Chain A
Amino acid sequence: MSASLVAVDYSRPIQPLLQQEPRVATIHSVFHRAVNIALDDTMLALLSSELPCMPNSVRLSPIASERLSGSLHAGMEVLIGNASLRIPARDFSLHLPQTPPWEPRPDITAYRWSRETVTRHVRLLAHYLADQPQQGGLAPLIRPLLLGQPAPETPLSRMALPALRMLARASWRQDSAGVAEATGRLAGLGPGLTPSGDDALAGFAAVMVLFSPQLSAGTISRDVIAATIARVARPRTTALSAVLLAHASRGEIAEHMGKLLLKLALPAEASTAVLHAAERVLSFGAYSGSDTLLGTLLALRALEGDID
């Protein structure tokens, strides 16, 4: 595949990687519409523009993405730098567009927030998640965690439920040791390339760093909790998952997740818009969307006070 293309868009956090002197990276994994490229301790994702923007993504047109992924395999060399990405073995180069990068950290401070309204949205979304007809991963645990209802007993739920409770409790109390212990029990847990426990942790960490100044009682920042989650999880899970957790701990999240969080600023009557945004989150992956939503809702609840 000989081609020189301009990307559709790219995410702000990967800008420094592309602007430095050229360095050698390696293709980590190849999927239909995604190619992951490992460089040092991070990972850059070449995505089809059919997929939502991710904090580490450069997106290509769907046709270019399909042709590219069909010609690559893991372990191939990639040169990254000088505002471009080159794959010498395929005579392929990708250049950044002249447009500003996409910002994966939603601008929470641009909105007016009401604790009462967010609490009502959280309750609505908890019921919505609980009512999903086909459930796997950790989503069924929304019932015992936020709705006071029982959940099916499985080996996964028996391991995850106490850890999620501990995470929420320790976060509210700003108990870093408790957060670390809970993270150790969740990181890398469950099905998926980004295991369910990691997706829940990512949603949780992002809320802690984005919302604690606005919504936690006493407006205490809980950035340290998000950083602890990313640090403890890193050696315990897949490389891809660890990278996404690191982004989440800086408030950098996927496009559809950011849209949902901003919808929580809408009045309580705008439930349809909130549910519609949540539906898009749930459509992501087999369980990734619902697991991330579970972690997000748990974190928002934890900012209200002790879950006990």
Chain B
Amino acid sequence: MVLQALLKRNTYYDSIALMSVAQAVKDLPGVEDVGAVMATEINCELLQNSDLLPVAFLAEQQAPPGPEDLLIVVRAANEAQAQAALAAAEQRLTSRGDRGSAGGGAMLPIRSLEMALKRDETANLALISVAGEHAWLEAEQALRHGLHVFLFSDNVSIEQEQRLKALAAKNGLLLMGPDCGTAIINGVGLGFSNVVPRGSIGIVGASGTGMQQLICLVATAGMGISQAIGTGGRDLSEAIGGIMMRSSLALLANDPQTEVIVLVSKPPAARVAQEILAAAQLTKPVVIVFLGTSSERFAAAAGKAHLAHTLTGGAELAVSLAGGDRTRVPGEGALHKYDLAAQRAKLASSQHYIRALYSGGTLCDEAMLLLSEQVGAVTSNIPLHPQWALATGETFRGHTALDLGSDEFTRGRPHPMIDPTLRLQYLERAAQDSETAVILLDIVLGFCAQSHPASVYAPAIAQARASAAAAGRTLPVVISLCGTEGDPQRLSMQRKALEAAGVIVFESNLAAARAAASFVEK
């Protein structure tokens, strides 16, 4: 066992940089422990208590270290491994852009595509998130440099999208977007994504939260994802013609790790749907979830493709086709976990309507489709039919489902998957309305999402339920909780905290919608 150390005089790094470097070095072969601290007297005592004080190294220094000096210590199995770890720590620190040093100029942050490529010539994908009016230009430059593009930005015109996708297709590249929220490429999550194992199911989606729901359900069933490719929500429109969905489908068809392919989208243009179905006649099984369209509509053209009506249905089919156990997908079977009929019996005579407050557009769409099948018209800001649109200034009318992540709610404020403020206001309004029979919400976990949503929603829901109780009403709250155990927020921890507040929790949006409908259906 050896201790080796590195002392950097008058050198400052922010705490996030030091933490991430220490964590990365700790994972190297032979490394037992790492300390990276400012060399205050008390931190030297802390290193001693951690068997990390490099006594001999410190004795060799001309002057003892002080509070303005950074001390990095590695304890490893042998000298070579310790040296390699220290070299890796120094390399990681100097390659980061967040140094504050008294010893020379701070490393410039990467501010252009050219700078990024100069730093790492092996890069083959650019993630672009800049103001919409500049996004197309950055994307075009990236494509011309031979990079695949994940285009998070929105406000890119349909004409620009056509041109970018044509350019990408010509060069055999992916243009994921614009307004692409989710992807998992070679195991790396981009945008809003979940921590899932790698596996044999590949997904292509023109829908961010739709893909996240599929990914999470597949992971809960014990299966993994090979690739998840986002295309941007307009890809299957008449104007774009499904260029990226077809390119992605071809990529997955040739990907040896992908054994089953799932395509997911909101209702596509009829011509585009036919082309996608034709392209999906592969030797590998392909599952298609075109939300909002009946299976019968495309049954004749489906050929070998498997059509599913819901995201949960798509996940069950994919798991089964990949050799897994479809009953492990948490679907409608979970409805039996709660005594919904008993809760319904406690509703007051004034309580007639479902109030759904969604942050995910596709999840909201799916819920509206399912609810309307069971309870009739569902008014919304993204209505299934024009006559079900909410009027200006109207919050709820009858059964109502709001997509609080849509543009009119997010202009000038963060998305509700990140900041719950707006949705909490709507929750309070719904709870105060004596006609509300049940409140339905989605909570999406994973990277980029709120760090601990249950800590905010559980007390707010408990308070809403208490207010309703004071007014003589019981108020059931159903949550569609989309996430995995590996997510930073931990699925089980969020579920436990929400259930402790009396919330009915389902991992399947289908089950959540069915549960909500059961409170009001005739």
Contact = CB atoms under 8 A, between A and B. Distances in A.
A118 to B, nearest CB: 17
Given A72-B105, A239-B68, 12 more contacts: A29-B101, A34-B100, A131-B452, A132-B452, A136-B19, A191-B22, A192-B38, A238-B67, A272-B456, A272-B459, A275-B459, A285-B15
25 contacts: A29-B12, A30-B100, A31-B14, A70-B111, A73-B104, A74-B106, A132-B451, A133-B451, A133-B490, A134-B488, A155-B49, A189-B40, A189-B43, A191-B15, A192-B18, A193-B13, A193-B15, A193-B100, A194-B15, A195-B43, A236-B67, A237-B40, A271-B460, A283-B451, A286-B16
A74 B102 contact: yes
Nearest to B108: A70
Interface string A33-56: 010100000000000000000000
Interface in B1-36: 10, 12-16, 18-19, 22, 36
A159 to B, nearest CB: 6
B452 A188 contact: no
Contacts of A124: 459
Contact of A192 (B10, B15, B106): B15
Nearest to B101: A74
Contact of A195 (B16, B40, B420): B40
Interface string A104-125: 0000000000000000000010
A287 B40 CA distance: 18
Interface of A: 28-32, 34, 36, 66, 69-70, 72-75, 124, 128, 131-134, 136, 155-156, 158-159, 185-195, 197, 236-240, 269, 271-272, 275-276, 279, 282-283, 285-288
A185 B45 CA distance: 10
Given A30-B100, A74-B100, A285-B16, A66 B456 contact: no
Nearest to B48: A155
Q: Which of B18, B103, B452 has the most CB of A within 10 A?
A: B452
B157 interface: no
A29 B455 contact: no
B497 A131 contact: yes
Contacts of A287: 15, 19
Nearest to A27: B102
Interface in B389-424: 420-421, 424
A172 B366 CA distance: 57
Contact of A75 (B36, B38, B102): B102
Given A188-B43, A193-B15, A30 B101 contact: yes
B46 A189 contact: yes
Nearest to B493: A133
Contacts of B296: none
B37 interface: yes
Contact of A238 (B38, B46, B97, B488): B38
B50 interface: yes
Contact of B106 (A73, A158, A187, A272): A73
B121 interface: no
A32 B109 contact: yes
Task: Count chain B CB atoms within 10 A of each CB in A134, A186, A188 and give the residue with the most.
Answer: A188
B42 A187 contact: yes
A190 B10 contact: no
B387 interface: no
A276 B421 contact: yes
- Tell me which of B38, B49, B101, B421 has the highest count of chain A C-beta atoms within 10 A of its own C-beta: B38
B40 A238 contact: yes
A260 B283 CA distance: 59
A66 B109 contact: yes
A275 B456 contact: yes
B159 interface: no
A188 B493 CA distance: 34
Contacts of A240: 12
A186 B43 CA distance: 10
Contacts of B489: 133
Contact of A69 (B12, B68, B106, B488): B106
B463 interface: yes
Nearest to B10: A74
Nearest to A35: B100
Contacts of B455: 128, 131, 275, 279
Nearest to B102: A74
Contacts of B12: 28-29, 31, 193, 238, 240
B41 interface: yes
B98 interface: yes
Contacts of B99: 30-31
- List the 4 closest A-B pairs by CB distance, nearest first: A188-B40, A29-B100, A192-B15, A73-B105
Given A73-B104, A133-B489, A188-B40, A282 B451 contact: yes
Contact of A155 (B10, B50, B100, B490): B50
B102 A158 contact: no
A70 B13 CA distance: 15
A129 to B, nearest CB: 10
B40 A193 contact: no
Contact of A279 (B41, B456, B459, B497): B456
For A29, A134, A279, the residue with the greatest tally of chain B CB atoms inside 10 Å of its CB is A29
A187 B67 CA distance: 11
A66 B111 CA distance: 9
Interface string B480-505: 00000000111001000100000000
B459 A29 contact: no
A66 B10 CA distance: 23
Nearest to A272: B460
Contacts of A191: 15, 18-19, 22, 36-37
Contacts of A155: 46, 49-50
| Residue in B15, B38, B104 with the greatest tally of chain A CB atoms within 10 Å | B15
Nearest to A124: B459
Contacts of B105: 30, 72-73
A107 B508 CA distance: 48
A286 B37 CA distance: 13
B446 to A, nearest CB: 13
Given A236-B42, A272-B424, A31 B19 contact: no
Interface string B52-87: 000000000000000110000000000000000000
Nearest to B456: A275
A28 B102 contact: yes
B429 to A, nearest CB: 14
Q: Which of B18, B22, B50, B455 has the most CB of A within 10 A?
A: B455
Contacts of A269: 463
Contacts of B40: 187-189, 195, 236-238
A287 B493 CA distance: 21
Nearest to B13: A193
Nearest to B420: A276
B45 A159 contact: yes
A189 B67 CA distance: 10
Question: Of residues A132, A186, A275, A288, which shows the largest number of chain B Cβ atoms within 10 Å of its Cβ?
Answer: A275
Interface centre among B101, B103, B489, B493 (most CB of A within 10 A): B101
Q: Which residue, B13, B101, B106, B459, has most C-beta atoms of chain A within 10 A?
A: B106
Contacts of B22: 191
Contacts of B13: 193
